[in-house]
Amino acid sequence: MNESLQKFARENLIQNLALCTEKEQLFFKRMYSHDNLALPIEQVVANMSEEKLDWAMQQVQRTVDKKAAQPRVERELVLELESIVESIISAAV
C-alpha cells in the first residue's frame, strides 16, 4: 500500500473510531494494541502495520454502519444498559 493510501486509511480509521463508543474503541485496542491498552486511539492507529489497515477499516466501517442502522432510541437504551451493567460489575469487584 503506498503512502497516500496508508494516510487515507489511517485518517478514515480515526474518523470512524471517533463515532464508536469507548467500549468499541477498547475492543479495537485489544485487537491492534493488546500490549498497551493505555495508548490513545490515534496512536494505536499510527502504530498499526500497513498490512492490518484494510481489514481494520472494514471492521470499523461495519460497526459504524450497524450503529447507523439501529434506531436512535434503541441505541441509547443499549448504551444505558451497558453503563448499568458495568456499574454493577465494578461494584461487585
Question: pLDDT of 36-66, one tens digit each?
Answer: 999 999 999 999 999 999 999 999 999 999 8
Three cell numbers at 44?
Answer: 494505536
What is the pTM assigned to this prediction? 0.73
Domain assignments of the chain as residue spans, ordered by start:
3-92
Residue tagged 471517533 (cell numbers): 18
How many CA atoms are closer than 13 Å to the CA of 37, on its beta-carbon side? 10
What pLDDT does residue 59 have? 96
Q: What is the mean pLDDT of residues 70-83?
A: 79
Q: What CA–CA distance (Å, rounded) separates 18 from 91? A: 28
